[in-house]
């Protein structure tokens, strides 16, 4: 009986720790904060600019295309466009002006505003 | 009888709006928000039949409730005298329903006659537009038989002047489609090998959405169109703009974009007036940049959506006739620049 209780306690502790580790992954939290970005407004902005016509994006209605890479798990990607490290300032720069980051890429400059780019970047970092 | 107008507050409409969660009577694709005389008469007809149906339902429930209560009160002594039972079936099952159906039949025929007379005969000359349905888009040709050089073709958007009857000549190049803009009129089929016509008038400037209303293939659901009603002066100016081919590109990126368009064979299916692109099997792109949507109302006409559409048309609208053309990244950018310069 006591052994079973101890086992249960151990299991609960493990589960709690695993949950914490997952939620508080220091690498992601620290590296993936977009100053001034409101993640909740990202999906609406992405619908306006038409991101979903090329990308599959979890949480964005109608975004199921495969022209460009699917963006599920974006927070875990190490590179953007296979060229620059996946960091908030680089991501915002990429969304604003992909042709400047990687001239000749198929991803067009979409005339995204600074605030929209920050909102989109913040949302993409919620995709874990 | 003056038709119900959208401006007058309407009690049944308000009640219905509540029932339907407030989504009735305000939309851009809405039978109950008529924006022209034909649609108003159809809406009138709807409300009359709706009121009759409600009356029948209420009467039926009242009789049922009376019967149930009476049965409970009388218990075993519940049987109607045979003459009463026969009369109930005779009146409730035969005479009254026949009378109601006759009223509906007469009103329906009357509504149909009223609508079919509107915009024909006396009054201003209707504007005639030919609309050809194809899988899965609409070709729109503005006709001016007296001045053939003033005719032109566009696609998926129909601009009309307010306050003037518009006569559509409806044809199909493949299967049966149906033209339906609920704010403006009922449905009319587009049938291969014959020309149907539909006369409507829009009284209020605005953009109204319509769609194919006859199943026509895999992308039937994404065969939509917009009708934009403009005040007459603006409509005349719009027509003049449509007649002018777009200015040839001057900056190097757009010139490159035009070359990409021509070299990859886009012009075999699409036309752009003033260029060698003369294709007739896909939407005319002469003034593409001024359109609101791409792929027949499927997506907003933004650079992002257009890039995705050109890169993978079958991903967005599987089964449509447009193939994906493999383009380098910079070719795609130049093509987007060129297409969005076609104002």
Say if residue B201's pLDDT is above 90.
yes
Say if residue B53's pLDDT is above 70.
yes
Which of B15-24, B197-206, B281-290 has the lowest average pLDDT? B15-24
B332 & B314 share domain: yes
Residue A63 lies in a domain: yes
- Average pLDDT of chain B? 90
Say if residue A15's pLDDT is above 80.
no
- Average pLDDT of chain A? 85
Residue B295 lies in a domain: yes
Q: Tokens representing A13?
A: 């502790």
The residue range of the domain holding B317 is: 252-339
User: How far from B213 is each of B39, B188, B189, B223, CA to CA, in Å?
Assistant: 16, 9, 8, 9
Chain B: residue nearest A107 by CA? Answer: B329
Question: Which residues neighbour B4 within 8 Å (Cβ) at sequence distance 6 or greater?
Answer: B10, B40, B43, B44, B47
| Residue from B294, B308, B327, B330 to probe the interface with A (highest A Cβ count within 10 Å) | B308
3-state helix/strand/coil string of B73-115: HHHHHCCCCHHHHHHHHHHHHHHHHHHHHHHHHHHHHHHHHHH
Say if residue A56's pLDDT is above 60.
yes
Residue A13 lies in a domain: no
Residue B4 lies in a domain: no
CB of A105 closer than 8 Å to CB of B333: no
Q: How confident is the model at residue B24 (pLDDT cuts 50, 70, 90)?
A: low
Say if residue B221's pLDDT is above 50.
yes
Residue ending a domain, among B64, B85, B117, is: B117
CB of B316 closer than 8 Å to CB of B295: yes
Is B340 near chain A, with CB under 8 Å? no
CB of B277 closer than 8 Å to CB of B338: no
| Residue from A46, A53, A55 to probe the interface with B (highest B Cβ count within 10 Å) | A53
Residues of chain A contacting B308 with CB distance shorter than 8 Å: 50, 52-54, 65, 67
Positive or negative, the CA dihedral B29, B35, B36, B41 is positive
B268 & B169 share domain: no
Q: Is the peptide bond before B254 cis (omega within 30 degrees of 0)?
A: no
Residues of chain B contacting A105 with CB distance shorter than 8 Å: 329
| Residue from B297, B304, B313 to probe the interface with A (highest A Cβ count within 10 Å) | B304
Q: To which H or E segment does residue B159 belong?
A: strand B157-161
Question: Which residues neighbour B219 within 8 Å (Cβ) at sequence distance 6 or greater?
Answer: B135, B136, B317, B318, B319, B320
Ramachandran region, residue A104 (left: φ > 0; alpha: ψ -120 to 50; beta: rest)? left
The whole-number average pLDDT for the span A97-117 is 95
CB of B112 closer than 8 Å to CB of B150: no
Task: Give B206-265 as a DSSP string.
Answer: EEEEEEE-S--STTGGG-EEEEEEE-HHHHHHHHHHHHSPPPPP-SHHHHHHHHHHHHTT
What percent of the residues of chain A are helix, what percent strand, and what percent coil, each to the nearest 5?
Answer: 55, 5, 40
Alpha helices in A34-125 (DSSP H): 42-49, 88-96, 98-101, 114-124
The whole-number average pLDDT for the span B232-249 is 95
Say if residue B259's pLDDT is above 80.
yes
Residue ending a domain, among B215, B240, B265, is: B240
**Total number of domains in chain A:** 1
Q: How confident is the model at residue B21 (pLDDT cuts 50, 70, 90)?
A: very low
Q: At what angle do helices B96-117 and B37-74 cross, to 10 degrees?
A: 170
Residue B18 lies in a domain: no
Say if residue B243's pLDDT is above 80.
yes
CB of A83 closer than 8 Å to CB of A105: no
Determine whether the interchain pair B315/A105 forms a contact, defined as Cβ–Cβ distance below 8 Å: no
Residue A52 lies in a domain: yes
DSSP annotation of A89 reads H
Q: What are A76-82's contacts with CB under 8 Å, separation 24+?
A: A76/A28, A76/A128, A81/A105, A81/A107
Residues of chain B contacting A61 with CB distance shorter than 8 Å: none
pLDDT at B71: 82
The whole-number average pLDDT for the span B271-290 is 95
Residue ending a domain, among B117, B143, B174, is: B117
pLDDT at B17: 47
pLDDT at B27: 84
Determine whether the interchain pair B311/A67 forms a contact, defined as Cβ–Cβ distance below 8 Å: yes
**Total number of domains in chain B:** 3
Q: To which H or E segment does residue B152 belong?
A: strand B152-155
Is B153 near chain A, with CB under 8 Å? no
B234 & B267 share domain: no
Between CA A29 and CA A95 the distance in angstroms is 21
Residue A5 lies in a domain: no
Report the residue from A65, A105, A106 with minimal CB separation from B316: A65
Determine whether the interchain pair B299/A53 forms a contact, defined as Cβ–Cβ distance below 8 Å: yes
Residue A14 lies in a domain: no
The whole-number average pLDDT for the span B193-212 is 95
Determine whether the interchain pair B315/A66 forms a contact, defined as Cβ–Cβ distance below 8 Å: yes
B51 & B152 share domain: no
Is B329 near chain A, with CB under 8 Å? yes
- CB–CB contacts below 8 A, A to B: 68
Determine whether the interchain pair A107/B329 forms a contact, defined as Cβ–Cβ distance below 8 Å: yes
Residues in chain A: 128
Q: Tokens representing A84?
A: 């620059």
Say if residue B263's pLDDT is above 90.
yes
CB of B301 closer than 8 Å to CB of B291: yes
B112 & B140 share domain: no
The residue ranking higher by pLDDT, B314 or B2, is B314
pLDDT at B97: 92
CATH number of the domain enclosing B173? 2.60.40.420
Say if residue B3's pLDDT is above 50.
no
DSSP annotation of B62 reads H
The whole-number average pLDDT for the span B245-268 is 95
pLDDT at B77: 72
What are the residues facing B170 on neighbouring strands?
Answer: B131, B196
How distant is the Cα of B337 from the closest Cα of chain A, in angstroms?
A: 10
Q: How confident is the model at residue B22 (pLDDT cuts 50, 70, 90)?
A: very low
The whole-number average pLDDT for the span B174-192 is 96
Residues of chain B contacting A67 with CB distance shorter than 8 Å: 307-308, 311-312, 315
Residues of chain A contacting B316 with CB distance shorter than 8 Å: 53, 65
Residue B15 lies in a domain: no
B328 & B268 share domain: yes
Burial group, residue B176, by CB count within 10 angstroms (0-12, 13-18, 19+): middle
Query: Residues of A at the B interface (Cβ-Cβ below 8 Å)?
Result: 48-54, 65-67, 99, 103-111
Chain A: residue nearest B303 by CA? Answer: A110
Is B305 near chain A, with CB under 8 Å? yes
Tell me if residue A21 falls in helix, strand or coil. helix
- Could you report the per-residue pLDDT of B84-125, keeping only the tens digit for each? 888 888 998 899 999 999 999 999 999 999 898 887 777 788
Determine whether the interchain pair A54/B332 forms a contact, defined as Cβ–Cβ distance below 8 Å: no
- Rounded to two decimals, what is the model's pTM? 0.82
Say if residue A52's pLDDT is above 70.
yes
Residue B74 lies in a domain: yes
Determine whether the interchain pair B303/A104 forms a contact, defined as Cβ–Cβ distance below 8 Å: no
CATH number of the domain enclosing A72? 1.10.760.10
Say if residue B283's pLDDT is above 60.
yes
- E-strand stretches of A9-108: 79-80, 84-85
Q: What are B61-69's contacts with CB under 8 Å, separation 24+?
A: B63/B92
Tell me if residue B164 falls in helix, strand or coil. coil
- Could you report the per-residue pLDDT of B299-313, keeping only the tens digit for each? 999 999 999 999 999
Residue B247 lies in a domain: no
């Amino acid at each position: 009986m006591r052994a079973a209780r101890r086992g249960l306690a151990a299991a609960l502790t493990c589960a709690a720790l695993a949950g914490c580790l997952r939620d508080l992954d220091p690498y992601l939290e620290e590296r993936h904060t977009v100053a001034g970005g409101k993640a909740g407004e990202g999906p609406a902005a992405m619908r306006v600019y038409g991101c979903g016509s090329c990308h599959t994006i979890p949480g964005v209605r109608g975004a199921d295309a495969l022209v460009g890479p699917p963006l599920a798990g974006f927070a875990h990607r190490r590179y953007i466009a296979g060229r620059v490290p996946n960091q908030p300032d680089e991501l915002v720069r990429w969304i604003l002006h992909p042709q400047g980051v990687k001239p000749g890429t198929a991803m067009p400059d979409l005339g995204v505003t600074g605030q929209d780019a920050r909102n989109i970047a913040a949302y993409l970092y919620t995709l874990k | 009888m003056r038709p119900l107008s959208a401006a007058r507050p309407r009690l049944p409409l308000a009640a219905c709006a509540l029932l339907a969660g407030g989504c009735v009577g305000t939309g851009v694709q809405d039978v109950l928000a008529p924006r022209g005389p034909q649609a108003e008469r159809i809406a009138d007809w709807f409300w009359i039949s709706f009121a009759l149906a409600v009356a029948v339902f209420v009467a039926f429930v009242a009789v049922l409730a009376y019967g149930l209560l009476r049965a409970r009160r009388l218990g075993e002594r519940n049987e109607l005298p045979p003459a009463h039972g026969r009369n109930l079936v005779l009146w409730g099952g035969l005479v009254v329903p026949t009378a109601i159906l006759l009223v509906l039949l007469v009103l329906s025929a009357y509504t149909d006659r009223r609508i079919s007379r509107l915009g024909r005969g006396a009054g201003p000359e209707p504007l005639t537009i030919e609309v050809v349905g194809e899988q899965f888009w609409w070709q729109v040709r503005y006709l001016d038989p007296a001045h053939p050089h003033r005719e032109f073709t566009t696609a998926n958007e129909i601009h009309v002047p307010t306050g003037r009857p518009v006569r559509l000549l409806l044809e199909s190049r493949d299967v049966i489609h149906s033209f339906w803009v609920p704010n403006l009129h009922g449905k009319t089929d587009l049938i291969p090998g014959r020309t149907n016509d539909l006369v409507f008038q829009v009284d209020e400037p605005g953009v109204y959405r319509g769609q194919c209303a006859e199943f026509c293939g895999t992308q039937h659901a994404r065969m939509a169109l917009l009708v934009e009603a403009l005040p007459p002066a603006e409509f005349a100016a719009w027509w003049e703009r449509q007649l002018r081919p777009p200015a040839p590109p001057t900056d190097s990126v757009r010139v490159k974009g035009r070359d990409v368009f021509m070299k990859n064979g886009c012009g075999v299916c699409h036309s752009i007036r003033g260029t060698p692109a003369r294709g007739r099997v896909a939407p005319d792109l002469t003034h593409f940049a001024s359109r609101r949507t791409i792929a027949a109302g499927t997506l907003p006409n933004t650079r992002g959506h257009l890039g995705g559409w050109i890169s993978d048309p079958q991903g967005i609208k599987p089964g449509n006739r447009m193939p994906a053309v493999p383009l380098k990244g910079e070719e795609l950018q130049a093509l987007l620049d060129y297409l969005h310069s076609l104002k």
